[in-house]
Structure 1
Amino acid sequence: MEIAKLRSRITIQHSEVVTDAIGNHTNVWVDYWSCAAYANLASGKEYGAAGLTLGSDTLVFEVRWCERLRELNSTKFRILFGGNIYNITCVDDVQFRHEKLKLTAQRERR
């Protein structure tokens, strides 16, 4: 893995359930890990909905593997990058060598 490619900063967030003062349970996103990453566009699509043309970007992020990212999965984690939110769709420990992770993520439409 070429360290010089890791030019982008990403923040990985984890979904947690918190209880407020009166006992209500709500989901909140908490910063879990921030690291350098290589970000690359995997695919970009346009589609029409309700008379609007909307875009859907899928990015691939490559990060160095570390013990903290061992429990990373696509259901409870998301990525913040460039002011956008990306929902993780695939976590790939390349060849199970624990050297780098490839995170495929789709931009969330707000």
Structure 2
Amino acid sequence: MPGGQVEEGESLKDAAIRETKEESGIDIEVTKFCGIFQNVSACICNTLFLGRPVGGELTTTIESLEVGYFPIETALEMVNWGNFKQRIELCLNEELHPFYVEFSIPLKDC
């Protein structure tokens, strides 16, 4: 799940497109805004979008040691970092959009 920071003068959507390209080699078109996760303690807001591939070539980087296309069930089994599985499940359930999840965990525990 690509992620990173929004650069000065950059929109949230453009940041999602750029981060996906940087971390996977894939060009995407953002198709939907899904929701926000806010870690109040760490002063972090994560905006989540759905997108579809429109070009590029899968490439690993320092931030992504493995990239690929996987069935949803397989992808969910592979995710074991923090609350990322929950984030993916919420993004895939359109009935819950837009969602807002607020939590408070020190940055070192995220």
Q: Name the TM-score, length of structure 2 as normaliser.
A: 0.30
- Which structure has the higher relative contact order (CA within 8 Å, separation 6+)? 2
**1 or 2, which has the higher strand percentage?**
1
State which structure, 1 or 2, has the greater radius of gyration over its C-alpha atoms. Answer: 1
